[in-house]
Amino acid sequence: MKLQNDLILRAAKGESIERYPVWLMRQAGRILPEYRAVRSKLSGFKELVETPEFAAEVTIQPVDILGVDAAIIFSDILVVPEAMGLEYQMLEAKGPWFEKTIRSEESLKFAETNFDIEDRLGYVLEAIRITNKELGGRVPLIGFAGAPWTIFCYMVEGHGSKTFSESRKLLYTNPVLAHELLGRITDVTIKYLKAQANAGAHMLQLFDSWAGILGTVQYAEFGLKYIDKIVNAINEVPITIFSKGAISSVEKIAKLNCNTVGLDWNMDIAKIREQIGETRTLQGNLDPCALYASHNEVENSTIEMLNSFKSKRHIVNLGHGVYPDIDPEKVKTFIKTVKDYEIK
C-alpha cells in the first residue's frame, strides 16, 4: 500500500523533507482518554498487548487524535523474554515482575531461541497487519524491540530496579553466561524484528532503556556489540537506536549501521551534530516535562529546540516517553509547533 505521508522515512534516510516529522514515544496509551476507555474494558495491560484488534485500535488513536507523522505498534519490550520462556506479570504499582530469573547456567533453559516467531509472537505481527490495514497508508508504522542489554537486565533482575545491581553483578561474576544470554536475546530479536518488517512495519526502533547504568567500556562489550549485530542483520527497513542515558557512547552509536540515533533530553543536539556530522538522522529530544508548562511555553521550548537543529536530518520527538499525566492538548501544541515550523 502506498504511503500518503512518508516524511519520517525520508528523514530517516537523509532524503529531502519539506518539514520535520514528529511523533512521541509512548504516544499509544497513557495520556489519551480514548486509550483508557479501551483499557478499562480489559483485564489488564497484557490482555491489550496480546489482543491484536485492541492493540491496533490504540496504536491508531494518536494518529487520529494527535496528528503524529507515524504510528508505533502498541506492545511491550518484555514480550521477547516471555516468548523465550520467562513469563511476566505487569503489576499495577510495581511494574513488570518475573517469577523466574536467569542467574545460572541451569536457568538458561528459560532462555530459548529455537522457536517460531509467528508461533509465540504472532499476536504482535497480527496487530501490525491489522493496524496497517486500518491506517490505509496514512502514516508509516514503527515496530520495535528492547535492545539486548535492557532485556538482559529484566531477565536477570526479574523486575525494575534503580541500580540493576544483580544484572551488572553477572557481568563481573560470570561474563561467559552473560554473553551467552545476550547472544540468545540478540538471535531472537533479529528474527523478531525481521518478522515485524515482513508483517508491514515501515521502520524499527531498538530501545536500550538501561544503557546509562553501564560505563562506556562495559556498554561497548555488553551493549553495543549486540546492537551492532542486530543493525547489521536488519536490511529491510530503516532502524533507530535509542540508548537512553548513554551520552558518552553517542559517537560510537552513530558509527553503527543504523539510520537514526535517538537522543534523550539530557543530550545536547547541537553538540552531537557537531560530533557526528551529517552521517545520521537524530531523533528527539524535548524534555517530557516541558509539556507541563503553558501552551505558550510549550511552543517556545519546541521552537528553541527546532532552532538548535543545524541539519535537515531530524525526527522530532520527546527525549523520553510522554508522561502519563500530560494534557493531550499540550501534546497537540507541541505537534502543531513542529508542523508549522519552516526548515531554514
Give a three-class secondary structure readout of the chain.
CCCCCCHHHHHHHCCCCCCCCECCCCCCCCCCHHHHHHHHCCCCHHHHHHCHHHHHHHHHHHHHHCCCCCEECCCCCCHHHHHHCCCEEEECCCEEEECCCCCCCHHHHHCCCCCCHHHHHHHHHHHHHHHHHHHCCCCCEEEEEECHHHHHHHHHHCECCCCCHHHHHHHHHCHHHHHHHHHHHHHHHHHHHHHHHHHCCCEEEEEECCHHHCCHHHHHHHHHHHHHHHHHHCCCCCEEEEECCCHHHHHHHHCCCCCEEECCCCCCHHHHHHHHCCCCEEEEEECHHHHHCCHHHHHHHHHHHHHHCCCCCEEEEECCCCCCCCCHHHHHHHHHHHHHCCCC
Query: Is 154 a residue of the active site?
Result: yes
Annotation says 103 is catalytic? no
- Measured from the CB atom, the residue of 4 and 173 that comes closer to its own copies is 173
Residue in 30, 120, 184, 273 annotated catalytic: 30
Give min distance, CB of 179 to its own copies, in A: 15
Q: Is 30 a catalytic residue?
A: yes
Among 4, 37, 99, 173, binds its own copies (CB under 8 A): 173
- What character string, x for contact with its own copies (CB under 8 A) and - otherwise, covers 26-65? ----------------------------------------
Which of 45, 97, 123, 323 touches its own copies (CB under 8 A)? 323
Identify the active-site residue in 69, 76, 187, 208. Answer: 76
Cβ proximity to its own copies, 123 vs 265, nearer residue: 265
* One residue of 287, 299, 303, 336 binding its own copies per CB under 8 A: 287
**Is 110 a residue that touches its own copies (CB under 8 A)?**
no
**Stretch touching its own copies by CB under 8 A, among 17-25, 50-58, 136-144, 243-251:** 243-251
Q: Which of 13, 39, 159, 169 binds its own copies (CB under 8 A)?
A: 169
6 catalytic residue (yes or no): no
Which of 36, 64, 104, 165 lies at the binding interface for its own copies (CB under 8 A)? 165
Footprint on this chain of its own copies (rule: CB under 8 A): 160, 162-163, 165, 168-169, 171-173, 212-216, 218, 245, 247-248, 265-268, 287-290, 292-293, 297, 320, 323, 325
Residues with catalytic roles: 26, 30, 39, 76, 154
